[in-house]
Amino acid sequence: MALSETQTFGLSDTVQKLFREKRDLLVKARLDVDSMLVQMSTDHEDATKANADQEAAKLNAREKTERFVAAKRKLYVTISSCLDMAIGAVRKDSLAAKNFQRLRSRIRRPDVAEQIAREPTPEATA
């Protein structure tokens, strides 16, 4: 059974406390309590640092994703605005304008062959 982060750190604290409180009993049972405590403490610190690194990486990834989404939106607005200006420059009702407008509509509509390829086969749904 895999323990959650909270459970693992809680168990670590509890076991280390047990080893300190029952040191004499465990030493009588021939356990090297001091080296075990050092190992548990070191591993606990390593896991705590790794967790902090992971949380920082997740925050960084979120920030980078937000930056990308904003940049992508800005790019779309720029491209769309330029396309609108080009359509207006050749007159909205011209053949060239109709061709320009198709660029945008082709991007928004999935390719029929692509859509068929994504739909499950009857055998896959049985």
Q: pLDDT category, 116, cuts 50, 70, 90?
A: low
Please give the average per-residue pLDDT across 75-98, as a whole number: 95
Number of domains in the chain: 1
Question: Does residue 125 lie in a domain region?
Answer: no
Which residues form the domain of 84? Answer: 9-109
Q: pLDDT category, 117, cuts 50, 70, 90?
A: low
Question: Does residue 42 lie in a domain region?
Answer: yes
Cβ atoms 9, 47 nearer than 8 A: yes
Q: How far apart are CA 48 and CA 45, in angstroms?
A: 5
114-125 as b/e: b if 16+ CB within 10 A: eeeeeeeeeeee
Q: How far apart are CA 30 and CA 23, in angstroms?
A: 11
Whether the pLDDT of residue 114 is over 80: the answer is no
pLDDT tens readout for residues 26-58: 999 999 999 999 999 999 999 999 999 999 999
Residue type, 96: A
